[in-house]
Structure 1
Amino acid sequence: MELLTDDQKNEFQTCFQQFDKDNDGRLNPKESVMALKSLGVNLPESEVSAGTDFNSFLQVVVRKLQITDPADELKRAFNCFDQEGTGFISAQYLKQILVSLGDILTSQEADELIRDCDTDHDGFINSDEATKLILSKLT
């Protein structure tokens, strides 16, 4: 479950423990359904196995909530702007997008972001450069 942050794991662990009424480290089907429902996952009892342990519970949560690697999500988002499927977009096109979004970035702020993103200074931003920069800003 390397896709989950420690906070997410703790949140799901707390949820699991709240529904584990007999504290045996396992949820019966009814407890599993209720725990999953509290997280926004709706499954019928027939799709939940008896004696679900925490790891099995996490697997269902990750699969049903489609929790994915942030880098993969960022690359997919980047690809939405890569209209030609080349794996990169021009710095000029990125600036046009950033400035046209409204009051989010000024032209100067967009230039600074692009300078940070275009690490090889070729005038193009590839998904790896963009992803690395965004992830570095989030941590």
Structure 2
Amino acid sequence: MSPLISNDLERIFEKLDKNRDGQVSLEELNWLLERIGVELSLHELESLVGKPGLDFNEFLFFYKSISAPDSNDGDDGSGSGSSDHEDESDLVKAFNVFDVNGDGYISCEELDSVLRRLGVMEENSSRDCRSMIHVYDTNLDGMLDFQEFKHMMLQNTIS
């Protein structure tokens, strides 16, 4: 199961597809990736995607391929640790996107703000955010620290 459910991804796709042609262009996809802290040039993204745009099913496949913890094709299983370090670095970047005020915690307000910016949540969704946080908030402080966030992301990306 991935961190975002299909309905969330469908709403994101629809928000990205500005001209409503059923395709998310590389420019539209790159805009989203930049918002979540993934910096790629359009050339890098094009070589990664292999085409000028994605339909919804291709968008889902792309999302699953970049969110799977063991999607690193270059990992030979030797235990070199470099992909683990990259995974940790990516998680830190993702955490920092949600930790808007930089205090080391993701509050309900921050989660709600970022998800609304991405088009996943609608106004007055703070109760949903509280529920999301509660599931992974092991110390019951009402916020997610990095370890809780990491646990949430790793648990939700394992098929």
TM range, normalised to the smaller chain? 0.3 to 0.5
The structure where strand makes up a greater share of residues is 1
- If you compute each CA radius of gyration, which structure gives the higher value, 1 or 2? 1
Q: So what's the TM-score if we normalise by structure 1?
A: 0.44
Q: Which has the higher contact order (CA 8 A, sep 6+)?
A: 2
